[in-house]
Each structure stands twice: as C-alpha cells, then as structure tokens.
Amino acid sequence: MMSDPDALTTKEEAEEEAGGQGWGGLRPQKAKEEKYKGYKIGQKVGQHGTYLGERGIYDERNQLNDLTGREWALFSKSWFIHNPPPRKKNEVLHPAKFPESMIGDFIKFFTKKGELVLDPMAGTGSTLVACDKTGRKGVGVELIKKWADIARQRTAQTVIQGDARALVNLLRENGITQVDFAITSPPYWNMLKKSRGHVLSLQKQRKEQGLDEYYSEDSNDLGNLEDYNTYLNSLHEVYTQVNRVLRPGRYLVVIVQNILTPEGVMVPFAWDLAKKLSNIYILKQERLWLQNNKLLGIWGYPSRYVSNVHHHYCLIFEKTSAKAAGD
Ligand SMILES: C[S@@+](CC[C@H](N)C(=O)[O-])C[C@H]1O[C@@H](n2cnc3c(N)ncnc32)[C@H](O)[C@@H]1O
C-alpha cells in the first residue's frame, strides 16, 4: 500500500506518477512498478486513487479529465513532437488541416468523456473526427460550404455552416449555449495567397494536382483580409464569441504560427494574438508543436538567412468567471 494514502496530489507522488520524467532526479519507472507489484487494474489506492496499470493512478477528485497523474504530467511538458500521418483523399482537398491524432491529445487533457468540444473554424472537421475517436461530442462552425460538406462526410457530429463572428447565435439556433472546451486554428492572415519560399513550392504542387491553394474568395473569409489589424480584430471578435459560450474555468487552444512575408520579414502573429486575447482570457502557456519529418528547403542559400519554420504555437487560454467577456 502507499505510505500516505491521500498523497496522490503531492509533488512527490506526481513526480512518481510522471515515471521519473518530472522534476528531475526521480524514482525510475522500474521502482514504481515494484511498488505496485501485485496490484490489479481497477484496485483502490489510498482513499482517492484507482490503479490503472502502466497508465498510472487515476484520482477520483480529477475535475478536468480522465487522465492519471502520470499522463497529466507528461502532457504538461511545454513542447511535443508530432509528425502528421499522410492525408487521405478527401482530407488533402483542404489547404491546411491539422492532424486528428494531435488534436485528440488536447481533447483528452482538456475534457472528460462525453463533454462537448467546439471548433469555431472547423475546416474539414478534424476536431470533430478527433471527438469521435476520443468519445466526446463535437460542434464545428465553418464558413465555406465546400469544407463544411467534407466535414459532414467525415463525421456525424454537428457541423454548422456560417460566420464564426456570429457564433453565439449560430450555436443557440442549434440548441447549444455552453461548451466544455474549444480548439481551433484560424487562417494565418492572407499568407496562403502570398508567394514565398516553401509556400510557393507547396502552392505549385497543389496547383499541378488541381487542388485549392487557399480557402475561398469569400469576403467573410478572414484569410482574405488585407489589413493585419483588421484581421487581428476580427479574430478577437471570434474568440470573444467563444468566450461567451465556454464554461468558466475551462480552456481555449488556438494553433498558430508566426508568419513570414514574401519580403522575408517575420510578422509575430502568434505573439500578437496571445497578447490581444489576454484581455478576455488568462494566457496560460504555449505548447510548441514541433514537426520533425518535413523536408528542409535551402531558401536563402548562399547569401541570406531564411528559416525553415517547422513549429507551431498551441496557445492555451483559460476562461475565469471574472474575465468572462460579454456576460
Ligand atoms: C486553418 S483552417 C482550419 C482547418 C481545420 N482545423 C482542419 O483541420 O480542417 C481555417 C478555416 O477557417 C475558415 N474560415 C475563414 N473565415 C471564417 C469565418 N469568418 N467563419 C468561419 N470559418 C472561417 C476557412 O474556410 C478555413 O477552413
């Protein structure tokens, strides 16, 4: 038995739960296995714990998710490597979708089974497919019919076609007034329409294959806004709407990148957005998504530094009751 039956949330137990990957100099996984030798899966550990084998120990006081202490600690690391698997036929049609497996990890951390997840700019519905895979309910809003239709082919979750700036009303019309978590990725300003370095080569490839190079010509598509401040303000409008339906104490994750202009100047979009949303949310942290399987281009060689940008920022915001916007 554990020496301190109530101690699952102490630093020491959390360190142990992390399998020695936590705060340094920790008990190795082997020692932990030794300690729980003879335990059966589902067996009580102390007053609040349940032994879940290699997964670790689940604490019934967990308010946020269904993870063990070990799984919780592993997710809390501020970076991760995720190499997206090749896209399927109907997924490749969309110019910028994110991988369901990665979104699934966020959903598992920020919700419990059966809770409701929102993506206000759902594209072809990757968030909703991740909800299917993790046993959550999902609702997605997408402006462009073509992408909304593909999302509907991929999942039976709720897909609403409309402008995310009218999110609260769109959800209400569908009987939804509150969601437990939101995760999304916006158009990265108008960058899919600007030719530069790796984007030029990607655009060329997509054109040759007869695929769309950008989302749409629709004037409500935020990826078609020319002025950067107008674009940032429009995103602020969208995430203010999200704030109004998000359950207090819960989280919004926005996946973004800093942007390189064709002139080779970095627009710090991820940082600008983080700062801008800090007046309606608590900015908690970024998680860096690192991609380690992308081909390297040799863009500026041999005279100028041009980066291969192979990372994204997953910005994590918390809604508190005090900071709820528009309530
Ligand atoms: C980066 S993509 C999202 C891709 C999505 N995560 C996926 O995996 O398929 C951004 C999406 O925002 C949509 N969008 C642009 N402006 C919008 C608006 N005003 N309201 C709702 N969706 C919008 C675009 O059509 C595009 O599909």
Q: In terms of pLDDT, which residue wins out, 117 or 260?
A: 117
By CB atoms closer than 10 A (0-12, 13-18, 19+), residue 295 is exposed
Q: Does ligand 1 have an atom closer than 6 angstroms to the CB of 99?
A: no
Interval 161-189 mean pLDDT = 97
- The pLDDT assigned to 6 comes to 37
Q: Does ligand 1 have an atom closer than 6 angstroms to the CB of 121?
A: yes
Per-residue pLDDT of 191-246, as tens digits, reads 876 765 555 555 666 566 666 666 678 899 999 999 999 999 999 999 999 999 99
Q: Report whether pLDDT(325) > 90.
A: no
Cα(140) to ligand 1 centroid in Å equals: 10
Percent of the chain exceeding pLDDT 90 equals 65
Is the bond leading into 302 cis (omega within 30 degrees of zero)?
Answer: yes
CA neighbor of 253 nearest in space, from 114, 155, 170, 130: 130
- The pLDDT assigned to 234 comes to 98
Taking all residues of the chain, what is their mean pLDDT, rounded to a whole number? 86
User: In the chain, where are the structural domains located?
Assistant: 7-77, 80-318
Q: Which residues are CB-neighbours of 54 under 8 A, at least 6 positions away?
A: none
Cα(183) to ligand 1 centroid in Å equals: 12
Whether residue 106 contacts residue 127, with contact meaning beta carbons closer than 8 Å, is answered with no
The protein residue whose alpha carbon is closest to atom 18 in ligand 1 is 163
Cα(253) to ligand 1 centroid in Å equals: 15
Cβ atoms within 10 Å of 44's Cβ, excluding its own: 13
Cα(290) to ligand 1 centroid in Å equals: 22
Cβ atoms within 10 Å of 97's Cβ, excluding its own: 20
The pTM for the full model equals 0.88
Cβ atoms within 10 Å of 157's Cβ, excluding its own: 23
Return the DSSP state at 310.
-
Whether residue 118 contacts residue 139, with contact meaning beta carbons closer than 8 Å, is answered with yes
Interval 45-66 mean pLDDT = 95
Interval 263-272 mean pLDDT = 93
Q: In terms of pLDDT, which residue wins out, 22 or 174?
A: 174
pLDDT-derived band at 2, boundaries 50, 70, 90: very low
- The pLDDT assigned to 205 comes to 65
Whether residue 13 contacts residue 69, with contact meaning beta carbons closer than 8 Å, is answered with yes
13, 17, 23, 26: CA torsion to nearest 10:
90
**Helical H runs in 21-176?**
29-35, 69-75, 100-110, 126-134, 145-154, 167-173
Q: Does ligand 1 have an atom closer than 6 angstroms to the CB of 203?
A: no
The phi, psi pair for 58, rounded to 5°, reads -90, 135
Cα(51) to ligand 1 centroid in Å equals: 41
- Atom number, ligand 1, closest to the C-alpha of residue 215: 25
- The pLDDT assigned to 275 comes to 98
- Atom number, ligand 1, closest to the C-alpha of residue 151: 9
Per-residue pLDDT of 7-20, as tens digits, reads 344 555 555 555 54
Specify the DSSP element, H or E, that contains 79: strand 79-81
- Atom number, ligand 1, closest to the C-alpha of residue 98: 8
Cα(189) to ligand 1 centroid in Å equals: 11
Q: Report whether pLDDT(169) > 60.
A: yes
- Atom number, ligand 1, closest to the C-alpha of residue 221: 16
Query: How many CA within 13 A on the CB side of residue 264?
Result: 6
Q: In terms of pLDDT, which residue wins out, 191 or 285?
A: 285
- The pLDDT assigned to 91 comes to 58
Per-residue pLDDT of 23-54, as tens digits, reads 443 455 667 778 888 999 999 999 999 999 98
Cα(20) to ligand 1 centroid in Å equals: 40
Q: In terms of pLDDT, which residue wins out, 177 or 23?
A: 177
Cα(217) to ligand 1 centroid in Å equals: 13
CATH of 80-318, one of 3.40.50.150, 3.40.50.2300, 3.30.310.50, 3.40.50.970: 3.40.50.150
Q: Does ligand 1 have an atom closer than 6 angstroms to the CB of 221?
A: yes
- The pLDDT assigned to 35 comes to 83
Percent of the chain exceeding pLDDT 70 equals 79
Interval 124-147 mean pLDDT = 97
Interval 89-98 mean pLDDT = 65
Q: Does ligand 1 have an atom closer than 6 angstroms to the CB of 95?
A: no
> Which amino acid belongs to residue 144?
I
Locate 167 and state its tokens.
């999110």
Whether residue 35 contacts residue 47, with contact meaning beta carbons closer than 8 Å, is answered with no
Q: Does ligand 1 have an atom closer than 6 angstroms to the CB of 223?
A: yes
